[in-house]
Amino acid sequence: MKNPISRRSAVTAVVGAIAAATLTVAGTASADPQPGRGEHRVESQVQHNRRVAVAFLDLAFNKKQPEEAAKLYVGDEFIQHNPLSADGTGPFIAYVKWRTTLSPELNFDIKRVFGEKNLVAVHYKRTYDSADRGAAVMDIFRFEKGKIVEHWDVIQDIPETSANDNTMF
């Protein structure tokens, strides 16, 4: 028979390590040196960047306000790696206006967001209208001083059939 105390200690150690890692990754260090008295959390740079990336996509595409999205969330430069778009916020705004005029029901359904250092990846389902199967999209943003300055994207249409029972999300 296995020693239950050893197993319990091992499980406790693993759970403690996971909790510590989660707190570290989440950036939940308190700004108040005495937690419990007026405690508030400081948003880490990665958390800020993640929030900005989602807000940028939502405001530009779902709310159809690309000028406001660029003004609020894009830095002095906007380097574009999508071969169909030129650098700068002007071409971005023109593209969003064209796309949302062509597809007024355009929707970005955000599924997950990843962030590390100055990079954020947003994975979402893009649909042009209710009849569209959609596409799985991953936008990657590079940040400087809390603003988006560079963009890459990877787009994969959702096929009619699949070799497995898993979704793309």
Strand partners, 156: 136
Q: Is the pLDDT of residue 150 over 60?
A: yes
Residues 6+ apart with CB under 8 A from 95: 85
Q: Is the pLDDT of residue 117 over 90?
A: yes
Strand partners, 154: 138
Architecture of the domain defined by 45-157: Roll (3.10)
| Dihedral angle of Cα 57, 62, 68, 73, to the nearest 10 degrees | -10
Name which of 34-43, 87-96, 124-133 the model is least confident about.
34-43
Whole-structure pTM value: 0.75
Q: Is the pLDDT of residue 50 over 60?
A: yes
Locate 28 and state its tokens. Answer: 């939940």
CB 132 within 8 A of CB 108: no
pLDDT at position 41: 74
So where are the chain's domains?
45-157
